[in-house]
Amino acid sequence: MKFQSRLPAPVIAGCAAALLLLIPVACVAQGSLPFYVQMRDSSMMQVQTGDSKFEWKTVAPDGSITMSTFNVTDIESLRFAASPASEQVARIRQLIDDLADDDYHRRNEAERILLAEGKPFETVIEQQRDHAEPEARYRIARLLENLDGIKESATNRFVMDFDILQLRDGRRLEGDIGDWSLTCEWNGVPVTANRGNCMHLFNKRPFAVTSALPGEASTVSTELMFDDSIFFDGENPRENVSYASFEEGEGGEKLDADREFDIVDGFAFMGGRFHCVTNNGRVVISGFRFKNGRSRRRSIGNFFVVPESKKRVSYQGEMRIDFCVPGNPTIPASVNRIGMFVEIVIPKHTILEAVNSAGHVVGLSQSVSDRTGYLSFDSNSDIAYVRLLANEYLATDDLNKDFAVDDLSFSRPTANPALNFVDGDEGHIVIVSRDDERLLARNVSFDLDNQILQVESAMPGVEDFAMPLDKVQWVVGPQSREVSAPQEDGCFVMLTDGSVVHCLFQQQLVASANPSLTIAEEDVIGVWGYNQRARYPRAADFDEGSMVMVRPLNTVCFNDAGIDWNNGRLDYQLDKAIDIQQGINEAAGQWIPADAEKEHLGIEPDADDPGTLDLTEVASIWTTLPPNRAAGTGLLRTDDGQQFILGGESGFELAAVNGSTITIRHDGQELSFDVQDIYALDFGERE
């Protein structure tokens, strides 16, 4: 069943004339041009503008400038650099002139700056070798000799940052568009695009903001692999693979080990962002050389200071890798494949965890071999981010936390509108239109009578506005990667269509948000404790049993177990269960089954086997693989970990969106949520 809008049709017809007055729209005058404008605040709007001429400076490597004149109609795309190339060249030339200044200190300072920042401008400096002043000639010769021996590193760069003009006739020009501004109109509001507020200008949709639905498979399937053949064809990366050896930057410059430079967005050009989660540390290019793998010169690792001892520690802690649209670090994305070499000291002491946009663990792998190991996931579910950390689940007092990463590979990231992670305390609501616009709001409210979304704008220069509801695809609130559980005890259950409901046990399974709403037991395919994180099983797990429990480092397959929903417990027979663990002494990738023991269920070795487990505390239990969301359905995801598929098999549907309250209905019962508690609302298809 496709999700259909439940907003009253008579309202739409009755207010058609009023909408023309209430909602200003971009007037497409004769001769006007449509463009997409991506602002520096991550918003993106479809605008209209007229044709006009502009001056363009093509800047050569030696700093020489060629002037040209183009029409706006000639533009395929335009990237505004933060600092114009001609201004950079002018600054370098001024510093060269300062080498002949009467002030000795000014001459020394100019030479110091040119030595630190002049590497990309060697040709410009070379042109002044025959300077009229003898001391300037002497300093220039010394500069060129020193610059020749300098290899750029992550911190020792001063790139000649060009504006990039792609013309419709296929030409790509690097240069400087100066102070040119393009006056546009969006939603009846004038918008000015210039280098101060705009990153990109496109004459067509640059990329799909709405992520593609998973493949035809109806269930989530994630494979774990321990070699890099999935990403490489012989020695070459496969098509649509982003590959980082951490030896070269975006411009091909060689990267040197540097513990002072955080590479958080150093590889955003390929779609990867890096964070050290521990103690406000940073991820840096390391000099740690891998003995195996495709590259051996450089890798990356965490570097931070332990507050108590003030001691610097490297290659430890937790590393998180997020994804973005390549070249657009402010637009979140997801992948379905990722792999990397990990240098470890002790097998099993490092794990890699893949998390989807709902906050569920779709794959977890631990290192399986001594020294260098390869960890990889291939999933038909979205991977929103991965965590690499010391294996905190091991029962050991001597956990080895050393690791470094190399040869990171992942599938090309796809923009994911369900994501709006905020690392600080504040963030904006993101609205994604059906035209793939991305708009930022401080607050929103729904006007059902007039079928509009009232928006308190968070975009500089854009006033508050109204937006027709039939143009809204997503409303996404600020998100934390750590989803908070409801205050009550209970458990989360996943239903056959992927809906996730927090439930209590009151002689039957009821929704905690509305205890009169009963959840049918036969619709439940997964369950986990209220303070647990969902961990997905592998398809092969069900070859060993009809019910599986996925714990952090092992899976227990039950052949004789049942869920007592009245009392909220799992009843099992341990002697008919099989434990599957990842082998560390066999070939990489082997999974070793063994007779299950109570320790495999998290029960202390010296405790008796109770034969039952409390569902409010239990790890993820599954009777079948979790499903992918069906095409055409809507989605409501809340900040307490619940997820409602609208128009799916479980029967949830959108009932009303009035003011700041969103109401859904199931079997005559309603659940209401405040828009501030919403992580993501996808209206799905509408007819």
Average pLDDT over residues 228-257: 86
What confidence tens digit (pLDDT) does each residue in 387-412 have?
Answer: 999 888 887 888 888 889 999 999 99
pLDDT digits (tens, 9 = 90+) for 428-455: 999 999 988 999 999 999 988 899 999 9
594's tokens = 């063994």
Q: Are strands 319-325 and 272-276 parallel, antiparallel or unpaired?
A: antiparallel
pLDDT (tens digit per residue) in 61-92: 667 788 999 999 999 999 998 777 777 777 88
Query: Which of 622, 640, 672 is the last residue before a domain boundary?
Result: 622
Helix (H) or strand (E) holding 632: none
User: Are 358 and 245 in a shared domain?
Assistant: yes
88: left (phi over 0), alpha (psi -120 to 50) or beta: alpha
Lowest mean pLDDT among 107-116, 378-387, 613-622: 107-116
Say whether pLDDT at 145 is over 90. no
| Mean pLDDT across 105-123 | 84
What is d(CA 171, CA 449) in angstroms, rounded to the nearest whole number? 50
Q: Is the pLDDT of residue 515 over 60?
A: yes
Residue 11 within a domain: no
Q: What is the DSSP secondary-structure string of 149-170?
A: T----SSS------EEEEETTS
The verdict on residue 464 lying in a domain is: no
- Assigned domain for 209 exists: no
Same domain, 127 and 242: no
Residue 446 sits at the vertex; the CA angle it makes with 16 and 637, to the nearest 5 degrees, is 130
User: Does 298 lie in the same domain as 407?
Assistant: yes
In a domain, 22, yes or no: no
Q: Are residues 325 and 407 in the same domain?
A: yes
Q: What is the pLDDT of residue 485?
A: 67
pLDDT for the residue numbered 4: 37
Q: Exposure pattern of 78-90 as b/e (b: 16+ CB <10 Å)?
A: bbbbeebbbebbe
Which residues span the domain enclosing 509? 491-622
- Total domains in the fold of the chain: 3
Q: What is the pLDDT of residue 170?
A: 93
| In-domain check, residue 432 | no
Domain check: are 140 and 266 in the same one?
Answer: no
The DSSP output letter for 519 is P
CA gap 465, 591 in Å, rounded = 56
594 part of a folded domain: yes
More confident residue, 624 or 179: 624
Cα–Cα distance measured from residue 389 to residue 387, given in angstroms and rounded to the nearest whole number: 6
Where does a domain end: 128, 148, 168?
Answer: 148
Tell whether 291 and 389 lie within a shared domain: yes
Same domain, 130 and 250: no
Whether the CA torsion 597, 603, 609, 611 is positive or negative: it is negative
| CA dist., res. 373 & res. 366, Å (int) | 9
**Torsion angle defined by CA atoms of residues 259, 264, 268 and 273, in that order, rounded to the nearest 10 degrees:** 120
- Nearest CA to 288 out of 269, 310, 316, 311 is that of 316
For 283, phi then psi, to 5°, come to -100, 125
Under the banding of pLDDT at 50, 70 and 90, the label for residue 10 is: very low
Q: What percent of the chain has pLDDT over 90?
A: 46
Looking at the structure, do residues 232 and 319 belong to the same domain, yes or no? yes
State the average pLDDT over residues 612-638.
93
What confidence score (pLDDT) does residue 160 get? 63
Q: Mark which of 367, 390, 415 sits at the end of a domain.
A: 415
